């Protein structure tokens, strides 16, 4: 059964596994203290979902905000990376303790997992996270996940928990992701403008949809803002998951949004093969190849990428690394795992396959990116 409306996200039949993402502003008050009453009501909603047979994974922010107060750091602990890392080390203990305590009141066991971007971009570690999440859920626990802010430097950071939530949902094979935000969905323009309309359902995160978020990004939405929420929606879409943005502010926010049918629901595309979905959701590419119009058309028809259609090579990638395929108009057409390292790609670029053996001095591979190792965007 497919998810076509908000209410399907809380139905164990249409959505057996759900990720609920909670941002710092909802969890931590302006005084730096946890908002216990609000969280208690949310945990009751999660416990009810579990009791009705739905598996729930929580992605929770709030470590930096909680820790900054304890360490008396300026700017809410976000003045520098080292401040944020120190604050997170302190705050994460409080955050995990809070979830464990409140879930415990319902007889539920909380399980903490701290991840960095790299943990989910490396295929082996990604599969490891998948296995751990599966085991925890089967054992009845509620995984509570955050970014491992204390060790994550700029290069290996998600930076926001929206994308983390989508990647976690994908790793867990979830059917849906619910982002509790400070706004009740995506608006067609800056929501503060008169006449701004909420979009109830989005079919495909198109350039027009992105344009709406840019208009609304100045509205002070969470740490990632609407842009990171749309990136999360793209990851979800490629992974065959539904994703919704709802207003997290009311007490019992999930029930409130479902009853009022208020939010923005991003519909999933058909589920891709797991490996392709993982590839499509990857956020960091090691390099890129540029292709001509002929190669771009061949990719659309489902062919592998051949060196003859390559016009340029960027980056210093190795064989097996994820790279982007960029069309003549500068748009990224696909992502895939390269069969060659960057230097070999440069040698082969523009050359027909029959010339490859002579150019390389060894037996060539059948394609630069095989169709099975590529996902079209």
Among 5, 54, 61, 170, the residue binding ligand GLU under the rule CB under 6 A is: 61
State the angle between helix axes of 161-172 and 225-238 in degrees (0 to 180), rounded to the nearest 10.
10
Of 23 and 253, which has the nearer Cβ to ligand GLU?
A: 23
Which stretch, 45-53, 55-63, 109-117, 268-276, contacts ligand GLU (CB under 6 A)? Answer: 55-63
Min. distance of Cβ 161 from ligand GLU in angstroms? 4
By CB under 6 A, the count of residues binding ligand GLU is: 15
Binding of ligand GLU by 116 (CB under 6 A): no
What are all long-range contacts of 248-253, with beta carbons under 8 Å and residues at least 24 apart?
248/22, 248/23, 248/26, 248/180, 248/181, 248/182, 249/26, 249/182, 251/37, 251/38, 251/41, 252/41, 252/42, 252/44, 252/45, 253/26, 253/42, 253/45, 253/180
Of 60 and 256, which has the nearer Cβ to ligand GLU?
A: 60
Min. distance of Cβ 175 from ligand GLU in angstroms? 23
Of 62 and 364, which has the nearer Cβ to ligand GLU?
A: 62
Tally of residues, the chain: 377
Among 89, 219, 223, 311, the residue binding ligand GLU under the rule CB under 6 A is: 223
Q: Which of positions 10-39 make contact with ligand GLU (CB under 6 A)? A: 23-24
Q: In 10 A of CB 269, how many CB atoms?
A: 16
Which stretch, 32-40, 58-66, 232-240, 308-316, contacts ligand GLU (CB under 6 A)? Answer: 58-66
Min. distance of Cβ 240 from ligand GLU in angstroms? 24
DSSP 112: E
Binding of ligand GLU by 85 (CB under 6 A): no
Binding of ligand GLU by 148 (CB under 6 A): no
Min. distance of Cβ 124 from ligand GLU in angstroms? 24
Q: Enter the tokens of residue 350.
A: 């523009």
DSSP 340: S
**Interacting residues of 104 by C-beta distance below 8 A, sequence separation 6+:** 110
How would you list the strands of the sheet with 287-291, edge to edge? 310-315, 287-291, 322-326, 332-337, 374-376
Binding of ligand GLU by 353 (CB under 6 A): no
Q: Which of positions 117-146 make contact with ligand GLU (CB under 6 A)? A: 146
Q: Note the residues at the interface with ligand GLU (CB under 6 A).
A: 23-24, 61-65, 88, 146-147, 149, 160-161, 223-224
């Amino acid at each position: 059964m497919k998810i076509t409306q908000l209410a399907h996200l809380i139905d164990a039949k249409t959505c057996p596994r759900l990720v609920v993402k909670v941002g710092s502003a909802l969890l931590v008050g302006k005084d730096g203290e946890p908002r216990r009453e609000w969280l208690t009501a949310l945990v009751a909603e999660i416990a009810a979902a579990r009791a009705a047979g739905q598996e729930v994974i929580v992605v929770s922010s709030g470590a930096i905000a909680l820790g900054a107060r304890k360490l008396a750091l300026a700017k809410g602990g976000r003045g520098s990376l080292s401040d944020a890392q120190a604050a997170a080390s302190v705050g994460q203990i409080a955050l995990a303790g809070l979830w464990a305590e409140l879930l415990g009141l319902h007889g539920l066991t909380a399980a903490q997992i701290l991840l960095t971007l790299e943990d989910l971009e490396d295929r082996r570690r990604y599969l490891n996270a998948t296995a751990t999440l599966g085991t925890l859920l089967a054992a009845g626990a509620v995984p509570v996940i955050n970014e491992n802010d204390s060790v994550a430097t700029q290069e290996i950071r998600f930076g926001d928990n929206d994308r983390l939530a989508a990647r976690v949902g994908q790793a867990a094979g979830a059917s849906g992701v619910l982002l509790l935000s400070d706004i009740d969905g995506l608006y067609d323009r800056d929501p503060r403008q008169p006449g701004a309309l909420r979009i109830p359902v989005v079919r495909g995160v198109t350039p027009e949809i992105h344009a709406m978020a840019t208009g609304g990004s100045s509205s002070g939405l969470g740490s990632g803002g609407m842009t990171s929420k749309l990136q999360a929606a793209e990851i979800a879409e490629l992974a065959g998951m539904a994703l919704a943005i709802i207003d997290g502010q009311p007490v019992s926010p999930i029930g409130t949004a479902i009853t009022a049918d208020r939010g923005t629901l991003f519909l999933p595309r058909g589920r891709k093969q797991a490996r392709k979905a993982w590839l499509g959701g990857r956020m960091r590419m090691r390099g890129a190849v540029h292709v001509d119009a002929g190669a771009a058309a061949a990719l659309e028809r489902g062919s592998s990428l051949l060196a003859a259609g390559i016009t340029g090579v960027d980056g210093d990638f190795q064989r097996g690394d994820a790279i982007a395929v960029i069309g003549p108009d500068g748009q990224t057409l696909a992502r895939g795992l390269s069969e060659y390292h960057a230097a070999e790609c440069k040698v082969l670029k523009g050359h027909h396959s029959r010339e490859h053996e002579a150019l390389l001095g060894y037996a060539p591979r059948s394609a630069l990116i095989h169709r099975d190792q590529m996902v079209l965007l």
